[in-house]
Amino acid sequence: MNATKAWHIMRKELRMGPRSPLFLYALVLPVVMTFIIVGVFGSLFAPSPRLGIVDEGNSAVVPAAQELDGIEVTTMASIDTLKSMVEANDLDAGLVLSDGFDSAVRDGTRPPLVFYVGGESLASNRIILQVTALDLVRQVTGEPAPVAVDIVTIGDAEAVPIATRMVPLLMMYAVAIAGAFVPAASIVEEKEKGTINSVLVTPATVTDFLAGKAGLGIVLAMATGIITLLLNNAFGNHPFTLTLALLVAAVMMAEIGLILGIFAKDSNMLFALMKSGGVLLFYPVVFYIWPSLPQWIAKIAPTYWFLQPIFEVGVKDASFGDVWGQLVIAMVWIIVLIPAVRAMSKRLERQVAVSA
């Protein structure tokens, strides 16, 4: 392979790329999806803290809570209903006021105040509601801290909010569309228009041609991946490790893009391959959205081995020492795909020779 020739081919692709709707689609899609997901599930427009209250004794805390600005207060009759809503993340927290609560507070007997916290609620909302609950009780007597607060977390205390669990899905779209689909579509377009023959009439070889296409996919996948992580506040505190994981993801997707682009006879076939084969590439993201599913199933897919390091480093602040083994397995997958790329390269040479 001649690196200079491959670079010229990649540079031409990058220069001409903005004219292609697919190229622009690859850049814009992760941004649009990020705004949709965070708008629906969480954090760009953070929802107001949601507090549920079960009042068993007509406490003065309830009307005081309902007059608060910036907090959504819901009253209900059943503690079981309250716990279910907190566990389902329909409420950020729940407060149970026992019968005679106000009288006990005024008498100084420090009655128990049960406070349920949702494992998937935003940490900021939990803090706001805990402090608010104490302030509301203080208003009953005017004395500080008149109760002992029993905080009970419902569900997994280590649970990741749903909007954050969507990050692997966004990352897959970012690296798959930009890293695999764009170069694959470019190869198919060259074959359909016959321009591939013109390229190979020059001193450039098929290997140079494919290297240039792969370089396009790697650059685009890296760019869209970084943009997606930054938009989701998931770049973490270990940028080198995260960039390495993104590079591994981009290279793997570029290899898959070359294989699909050469194998597909036309655009219709390419779209069909992407839709059917995309299931095998994308299905690991389901196990982040629903982490209770058996995780070993996700590990069968090659894409899991770059998604997991990206998630661990970007979301959970893992270091290189925590994810290096996963990155090694991802690199093994990259090596495994090399013979397939070489075989497809020879196939493309034969296709060009026949059409010449």
Stretches where the chain sits below pLDDT 50 are 44-45, 157
Q: Give the tens place of pLDDT for each residue, 21-69.
A: 777 777 777 778 777 776 666 554 456 788 999 988 888 888 888 888 7
Phi, psi of 173 (to 5 degrees): -60, -40
Per-residue pLDDT, 41? 60
The model carries a pTM of 0.68
The CATH architecture of the domain made up of 45-154 is 3-Layer(aba) Sandwich (3.40)
> Is the CB of residue 226 less than 8 Å from the CB of residue 27?
no
Q: Give the tens place of pLDDT for each residue, 301-356.
A: 999 999 999 999 988 889 999 999 999 999 999 999 999 999 988 888 887 766 65
Per-residue pLDDT, 303? 94
* Residue corresponding to tokens 């993104």: 246
Per-residue pLDDT, 277? 81
> Is the CB of residue 298 less than 8 Å from the CB of residue 283?
yes
Per-residue pLDDT, 202? 63
Per-residue pLDDT, 12? 74
Residue ranges covered by each domain of the chain:
3-40+162-355, 45-154
Of 174, 243, 178, nearest to 213 by C-alpha is 178
Per-residue pLDDT, 157? 46
Structure letter (DSSP) for residue 313: H
Structure letter (DSSP) for residue 178: I
Burial class (CB in 10 A: 0-12, 13-18, 19+), 164: buried
Per-residue pLDDT, 246? 95
